[in-house]
Amino acid sequence: MNQDNEVGDGTTSVTVLAAELLREAEKLVNQRVHPQTIISGYRRALTIAQDALRQSCVSSGENLEEDLLRIARTTLGSKILNQHKDHFAKLAVDAVLRLKSSGNLDAIQIIKKLGGSLNESYLDEGFLLEKLPGMYQPRRVEKAKILIANTPMDTDKVKVFGSRVRVDSVAKVAELEAAEKLKMKEKVDKILAHNANVFINRQLIYNYPEQLFADAGVMAIEHADFEGIERLALVLGGEIVSTFDTPENVKFGSCDLIEEVMIGEDRLLRFSGVPLGEACSIVLRGATQQILEEAERSLHDALCVLITHVKESKTVAGAGASEIMMSTAVIVESQKVAGKEALAVESFGRALAQLPTIICDNAGLDSAELVTRLRAEHANGHHNMGIG
């Protein structure tokens, strides 16, 4: 899970390597090697492998965009987007390059919309929100001053119908409702006193406050869920508030334009000209919900890998080349280690060598032949040679 969250790709390789290390450790335990000795040997081997990998890595060339495209194609090549990897690689690279050096993945919103084909997916330079304003409220706002909140706006119904209240006449119920409406009106008046022309709330906005916002000409957006409201605050440059007594202390969000747009058969809100200029949305189109879910996971992996590369622009050879190179370095160094710890170091090297073996087997190739030839190439100094 950490591998997927932090890097976005390579989860299968990590799982396979962990399994091979455990398999080798089991063999050592059967040879009466103490677990602490195995751990010590593995740690020493890890340092050797990391040093060898650092020495083999190369910095990206002058054309960063082309390097990123190649990396994205490689990441997408093993996923559901394989048939459209060029198209989605371009989308991912364009989105990541907008982030510049911030590497803030939250600034990239992925919207899934049924209909069309995967090739119809596109990058929208605005920020899209899958919500709409209330009835009779503005559908387009220029130079928006946005109050972002997390506050209950349904008191009028919850208090009356959710609480135990004893009354002896319908008139008393009407009095209760009137009192609750008055309290809600006072709250809305406090919100309107901030002079914002857009109000976005994480929670529901019920009919009465929605009507009050409409009468005041304010666009009110309800039920922007936790992830949505947090991302909006980041993108719009505002802060989420829950009380409204001190307007002078509130940090408002802003954008040049809020407008409704149609994607397929759905209407969404687009925020254009946001303070976080690198923010954007990738709209995924697909025939079924399952395809869209898989496409989102694949694209997320590609975005994570690209952001990691932008932060640290170094590359290593793939196709098993790096694993064989590390394996060779570890096994050579194991000959300089005395005692049973040498067995653990050597086992670590053998575990690394299993990755190119599995690559060959999965491709239906002769792993015994190819891996031995690969070792020979690396022994002759061709450290970028992999399974091709």
Residues 151-163 pLDDT 10s = 888 764 444 455 5
CATH number at residue 8: 1.10.560.10
Whether the model pTM is above 0.85: no
Decide: helix, strand or coil at residue 265.
coil
CA distance 23 to 356: 17
| Domain membership flag for residue 243 | yes
Range of the domain at 170: 127-276
pLDDT at residue 44, rounded to an integer = 92
Four-CA torsion 66, 72, 77, 81, nearest 10 degrees: -120
CA distance 277 to 126: 9
Decide: helix, strand or coil at residue 216.
coil
Q: Which residues contact 16 (CB under 8 A, 6 or more apart)?
A: 354, 355, 358
Same domain, 198 and 254: yes
| Domain membership flag for residue 224 | yes
Q: CB-side exposure of 55: number of CA atoms within 13 Å? A: 10
Strands (E), 89-218: 108-114, 122-124, 127-129, 140-149, 198-201
8 A C-beta contact, residue 238 and residue 194: no
| Domain membership flag for residue 17 | yes
Decide: helix, strand or coil at residue 169.
coil
Q: What is the pLDDT of residues 271-317, one digit of tens each?
A: 888 887 778 889 999 888 999 998 998 898 888 888 888 877 777 77
pLDDT at residue 158, rounded to an integer = 44
Find the mean pLDDT for residues 343-370. Answer: 85
CA distance 323 to 302: 22
**Domain total for the chain?**
2
Task: Please indicate whether residue 362 or residue 241 has the higher confidence score (pLDDT).
Answer: 241
Same domain, 256 and 321: no
Find the mean pLDDT for residues 374-381. Answer: 79
Same domain, 272 and 138: yes
Q: What is the pLDDT of residues 215-231, one digit of tens each?
A: 999 999 888 776 778 88
| Domain membership flag for residue 42 | yes
Q: What are the structure tokens assigned to 322, written together? A: 């790096």
Same domain, 334 and 199: no
Task: Pick the last residue of a domain from 252, 276, 300.
Answer: 276
Least confident of 22-36, 90-104, 131-145: 90-104
CATH number at residue 268: 3.50.7.10
Find the mean pLDDT for residues 28-49. Answer: 92
| Domain membership flag for residue 183 | yes
Q: Which residues contact 82 (CB under 8 A, 6 or more apart)?
A: 76
CA distance 270 to 253: 14
Determine what percent of the chain is predicted with pLDDT higher than 90.
Answer: 18
Same domain, 19 and 144: no
Same domain, 272 and 131: yes
CA distance 216 to 143: 17
